[in-house]
Structure 1
Amino acid sequence: MAHLLDTSTLTAHLPPVVLEVGELFEDAGYELSLVGGPVRDLFLGRVSPDLDFTTDADPDQTLAVVRRWADAYWEIGRAFGTIGLRKDGYQIEITTYRAEAYDPSSRKPIVAFGTSLEEDLVRRDFTINAMALRLPSLELVDLFGGVRDLHAGILHTPGTPTSSFSDDPLRMMRAARFVSQLGVTVAPEVSEAMTRMADRISIISAERVRDELVKLIQGAAPDAGINIMVDTGLAEHVLPEVSALRLESDEHHRHKDVYQHSLTVLRQACELETRDDGPVPTPDVVLRLAALLHDIGKPATRKFEPGGAVSFRHHDAVGAKLAAKRLRSLRFDNDTIKAVARLVELHMRFYGYGEAGWSDSAVRRYVSDAGPLLERLHRLTRSDVTTRNRRKAERLAFAYDDLEARIAALADQEELDSIRPDLDGGQIMGLLGIRPGPVVGRAYRFLLEERMEHGPQNPVDAETKLRQWWSEQPESQESTP
């Protein structure tokens, strides 16, 4: 069915470039419609900087229309019928009507251009994304009840879910992403098809899966998106370590579900992110991935102790290795992999602080080991407290408040964020009369250890300690005549 929207209301939310390009195509004798996410977002009261259009013009004809109008254009997607361009700060893609399917054994789509808007819409992923706005008339085309499903907050597919996911298995990941981003639920038949076809995600490239996972993690409710992946079996192929957490119990609460605990930690970590001017601006992918993966070392380290207790010794170190391996397989960048793995490795470091207390040396090491991840580590550690025991939760919060206060106090005195030995490499070589080599590194590490243990020292004391250390090294005897 088609609906004619109130022009004055709609144009108030539409960027001027939408109507401009619509008039250009109409003047050239072609059809053009705004389609997909940008139409959906109009009903949500927002406008994306990325605008998608579909047309009956082929790529050559599209280029002829927009070449002089666009600020810039590119033809990277030309083989798929897509011309990209930029205009007034908006990223625009204009795609020829098409039908697209996947060969069951191939990752690459088979592209065939279509002849009508209706034919194009039926091949889209979900009804809420299968709406179009004809331009410049502003006629809404909603053949599959997208407005209805958007208001109901439910994901249906235009055709059968089996056909949709067979055409592009990545749509199953996209369903989980929309659960996270839009707060929708999946229709029962969509969930059933995802469960039955979950293994088809394996034909999709790791890079495309990663991109969908990142969008899911950045959503307003990433825990809900992850839960859909686990419930349908998608996670078995994308994040199997997370699915495995359902089998575990917590070391302190034997009947506590570690999987649900991890979702709670993820949700609480999101709540502790800051605004753009804060130290951890939302959404922070590194913090959120670390929160989700922080306990994935538990299945491999579970041990039943005498008396029925369960332990997970060194699950932090094991989990760090597993997290790095999983993120590498998903083709994450090295910086993200290292940061997430480091946070997983450090997430247990705080425990014990409240009971035994830490020396200034231990506090310095905590800060030094966290490095630029310190603010994220603060939030991950606080998020890891999910106990319902109010007294215990308050005790842990108080202990971490105290640790942060001590870090702040030492930072004022010692510049903790850039701890260095009191003498640099050049000074070490000059004082000891040695050339560059491994010995300089050992001397540097000795002075760094002294700095950690005792705090800043004046150059004279540092030189005295260095000379004493040097006198005990075999190389110093070799250089003595």
Structure 2
Amino acid sequence: MQRAVEAQLDLLAPVLEPLGEAFAAEGHELALVGGPVRDALLGRPVTDLDLTTSARPEQTEAILKRERGPIWDMGRAFGTIGTRRGEWTIEITTYRSEIYDPSSRKPEVDFGDSLPGDLGRRDFTINAMAVSLPSREIVDPYGGVVDLAQRVIRTPGAPESSFSDDPLRMMRAARFAAQLGFTVAPEVIAAMTAMAARIEIISAERVRDELVKLILAPYPRLGLTLLVETGLADHVLPELPALKLESDEHHRHKDVYEHSLTVLEQAIAQESRLGGPDFVSRFAALMHDVGKPRTRRFVDGGVVTFHNHDVVGAKLTRKRMQALKFSNDEIAAVSRLVELHLRFHGYGEGQWTDSAVRRYVRDADDLLERLHILTRADCTTRNARKAARLAATYDELESRIARLSEEESLASLRPDLDGNQIMEILGLAPGREVGEAYAFLMERRLDHGPSTPEEAEAALRTWWAERQAR
């Protein structure tokens, strides 16, 4: 670990050493702190430069001005002054000692006077380490190096005190488990379980941001399982634990909760099709069956049905994402994928007409690649023959889509005549009738494929005459 730190610090020396020397010359301490130290110890690339200092904000600002770098002070109220050195954005924060109001996560900021005291207020021991500058001495008063080596997440002090101060740290524990593949210490899990309801005082936006980071992490199952087992998910994503449907010896069915986590992992395995981690694809995979608890019915013979769970699930997904303050575009994309996730199962053994294939592409629109991923990921059967048959059938559907796309430009599916041509042919002004004519031509395009302008005009005139005669 020491060698890993030295290697990273050698790379950062042109940036950090001059700053360390400048602060030392003024009688102030300066240290690299938190995530950058953790990542350096793990041998991971350092992407952020967070520094802490004994200097007060005005003293930090004065030193940076002498160093002739850009300065911004939007975080001055929290003791933070920002600067930039080459490609690096640097934030330098005065040692802090925070006091929390139990009814709010916003601290009353008070400046501290020691590095160990500043480290003690941080969320986890693996983030409560520092490297003094310019000496490069590792400062680790809470055993973060040992916890890194043992791959454990624990708090510097009592977890109950830490989570009482800032309940969002419970979400962060799950997020770090998902990002690093670490286990969470038993006392931390116990505190999360006992205090889960305190997450309610955190803003939806902050919860959303942690959830997104968790979902996009390398091991999201670890974090999601922790949220469910501690009861945090009951407050931030209740649709997930609700998938643990009760079963009995007479009504057996697939474990929808475990199935959904497996679908998420199988969707992640296909992300090369999208160029990398994609929240919309992952969250749709996680949420695709959330409509099942609402639609579960038992019928004769011990059969369980979930009719319309795709439509119900889309509505539940939209409602949850709205509560978490996601953007309208994200809400529309994820809920649409949930709504469409069963569409392929009407394909049978490939009996769809070309018209049905065109409608599949039209309905998916710019979500088509994600729908391919979700549909393939949704096969979790242990029956190898059935899995192979489903995969081959979807291969056939994708081949048909590719063929029709090449022949008909499905990616930009439009009627054979545009709105201006419709108005000219029918002698119409802009209005509802033009929209109806456009819709007729679109349906015709989906049913029959592309036509020549002459064929489209003839069909349009016939449709219009029949419409006028009604």
TM bucket, shorter chain? over 0.9
- Whether the aligned pair in 1 keeps the contact of 2:5 and 2:41 (CA below 8 Å) is no
Partner AA of 1:365 in structure 2: R
Matches within 5 A, 1:331-410: 331-355=325-349, 357-410=351-404
- Whether the aligned pair in 2 keeps the contact of 1:70 and 1:86 (CA below 8 Å) is no
What is the aligned-residue identity percentage?
A: 62
1:248 Cα offset (Å): 5.6
1:9 Cα offset (Å): 4.3
Q: Which residue of 2 aligns with 1:36?
A: 34
Q: Which residue of 1 aligns with 2:428?
A: 434
SS of structure 1 residue aligned to 2:349: helix
- Larger CA deviation: 314-323 vs 81-90: 81-90
Quote the Cα distance in structure 2 between the aligned partners of 1:101 and 1:419. Answer: 59
RMSD (Å), alpha carbons: 1.9
- Whether the aligned pair in 2 keeps the contact of 1:107 and 1:205 (CA below 8 Å) is no
1:461 aligns with 2:459: no
SS of structure 2 residue aligned to 1:290: helix
1:146 Cα offset (Å): 0.6
1:335 Cα offset (Å): 1.1
SS of structure 2 residue aligned to 1:99: strand
So what's the TM-score if we normalise by structure 1?
0.94
Q: Which residue of 2 aligns with 1:218?
A: 216
Quote the Cα distance in structure 1 between the aligned partners of 2:304 and 2:264. Answer: 23
1:238 Cα offset (Å): 0.7
1:255 Cα offset (Å): 3.1
Matches within 5 A, 1:241-280: 241-247=239-245, 254-274=252-272, 279-280=273-274
1:12 Cα offset (Å): 3.1
1:86 Cα offset (Å): 2.4
1:171 Cα offset (Å): 0.6
1:453 Cα offset (Å): 0.4
CA 1:69–1:354 in 2, change beyond 3 Å: closer, same or farther?
A: farther
Match of 1:233 among 220, 231, 234: 231
So what's the TM-score if we normalise by structure 2?
0.96
CA 1:6–1:414 in 2, change beyond 3 Å: closer, same or farther?
A: closer
- Whether the aligned pair in 2 keeps the contact of 1:248 and 1:298 (CA below 8 Å) is no
1:166 Cα offset (Å): 0.9
1:352 Cα offset (Å): 2.8
Matches within 5 A, 1:25-104: 25-67=23-65, 69=67, 71-104=69-102
SS of structure 1 residue aligned to 2:271: coil
**Structure 2 unmatched runs, 5+:** none
Match of 2:444 among 433, 442, 450: 450
- Whether the aligned pair in 2 keeps the contact of 1:327 and 1:337 (CA below 8 Å) is yes
Equivalenced residue count is: 468
**Structure 1 unmatched runs, 5+:** none
- Whether the aligned pair in 2 keeps the contact of 1:55 and 1:95 (CA below 8 Å) is yes
Q: Which residue of 2 aligns with 1:153?
A: 151
Quote the Cα distance in structure 1 between the aligned partners of 2:157 and 2:5. Answer: 30
Matches within 5 A, 1:183-222: 183-222=181-220
CA 1:70–1:229 in 2, change beyond 3 Å: closer, same or farther?
A: farther
1:66 Cα offset (Å): 1.5
Quote the Cα distance in structure 1 between the aligned partners of 2:47 and 2:13. Answer: 9
SS of structure 1 residue aligned to 2:243: helix
Partner AA of 1:464 in structure 2: A
Q: Which residue of 2 aligns with 1:128?
A: 126
- Larger CA deviation: 45-54 vs 129-138: 45-54
CA 1:15–1:378 in 2, change beyond 3 Å: closer, same or farther?
A: farther
Partner AA of 1:440 in structure 2: V
1:354 Cα offset (Å): 3.0
Quote the Cα distance in structure 2 between the aligned partners of 1:69 and 1:319. Answer: 57
Match of 1:311 among 302, 305, 309: 305
Quote the Cα distance in structure 2 between the aligned partners of 1:154 and 1:433. Answer: 74
Partner AA of 1:144 in structure 2: Y
Q: Structure 1 runs of 4+ off > 4 angstroms? A: 3-10
Quote the Cα distance in structure 2 between the aligned partners of 1:249 and 1:409. Answer: 45
1:47 Cα offset (Å): 2.7
Partner AA of 1:436 in structure 2: P
